[in-house]
A and B are shown apart, each in its own frame.
Chain A
Amino acid sequence: MNLQTEYLPFLIPVIIIELALMITALIHVVRHDHYKFGNKPIWIIVVVLIQIIGPIVYFVFGRSDEE
């Protein structure tokens, strides 16, 4: 569709950024077992399904301070 090619310059970078955020957050969630609240399955869902905001919430509020 014509519409899509028009928006491609937008879509590609956006997808890359979303993926970067999600993957970084996901790796961190999986590797570390401690969180300020919630548990691993919940955070995996939040980080993967809630685009952009999910990983941000995890890194700012949910991540535990200890390794």
Chain B
Amino acid sequence: MTGYGAFVKKEFMEFYRSHKLLIILAVFLLLGMMNPLTAKITPQLVENFMPEGMIVNLGEPTAFDSWMQFYKNVPQLGLVVLVILFSGMMSQEYSKGTLINMLTKGLARRSVILSKLTVALVMWTAAYVICTGISWAYTAYFWKGEILHDLFSAAVLVWIYGILLLAVGLFGSVLCKNAYGNLLITGGFVGVQFLLNIIPDAIKYNPLALVSRNMELIEGSLKFEELLFPIAVSAGLAIAFVIAACAVFNRKTL
């Protein structure tokens, strides 16, 4: 694939110089810290804000609560930030026409798509590892000695879902000339999954499980084998979207 290496380097440079690197690290660092923090603070906050006379019986926060915060915040906030940060992958190239020169020099169209995907994956993985690592470190610090199971597998699930969203975003970005259309497509994609969850049979396969049933896994009420279907579906969809993105891009007139 001609020019893949060179274009990957250019994408990294662009990511760094547009300050997106700074943002993604800052956001996921803060998120990582926020989870144990909110778990710890919530009972105290609730106590302070409840009117006199009401007795609220909230147990002491545990490591479990900390991870519960994680699996609430990261999908809701973190993934949204991720999607927004990468929503303009192709729109600038289209609007400014910077790709024309690159392509006429011999850059393969496929290289363009794959190099953008590569950088997105690397950045997502790095940010997510930092986020999870920090949450884990703080949780271990504040709740020493509590042992929870399947933490790693639960974490990997969100990582896979992030990759899926990036694949959809890449496809949407290639298809639509501007970032807003892309956001609509990605949002629609997630929306459809929410709707599908209403159908009992669909829950078995729905990728949404990767970001909604993590706590069940940690609790032990869900076995990892049951999640193999959503994982497979997500992986398949992700690959399909990337291939579709390449196909659409090959036909695009610039």
Contacts and interface: CB of A to CB of B under 8 A. Distances in A.
CB–CB under 8 A between A and B in the complex? Answer: yes
Interface of A: 7, 9-10, 13-14, 17, 20-21, 24, 28, 52, 55-56, 59-60, 63, 65
Given A24-B19, A59-B19, A52 B30 contact: yes
A65 B29 CA distance: 27
Contact of B138 (A9, A20, A21, A55): A9
Given A9-B138, A56-B27, A21 B85 contact: no
Given A52-B30, A59-B20, A63-B18, 20 more contacts: A9-B138, A10-B33, A10-B37, A14-B30, A17-B26, A17-B30, A21-B23, A28-B19, A52-B27, A56-B23, A56-B27, A59-B18, A59-B19, A59-B22, A59-B23, A60-B20, A60-B23, A60-B85, A63-B19, A65-B92
A59 B20 CA distance: 8
Given A10-B33, A13-B33, A14-B33, A21 B26 contact: yes
Main secondary structure of the interface of B (DSSP, over half): helix
Contact of B84 (A9, A24, A55, A60): A60
A27 to B, nearest CB: 11
For B18, B26, B81, the residue with the greatest tally of chain A CB atoms inside 10 Å of its CB is: B26
Contacts of B20: 59-60
Contacts, number: 41
Interface string B30-56: 100100010000000000000000000
A7 B85 CA distance: 30
A9 B134 CA distance: 12
Contacts of A7: 37
B16 interface: no
A52 B37 contact: no
B85 A52 contact: no
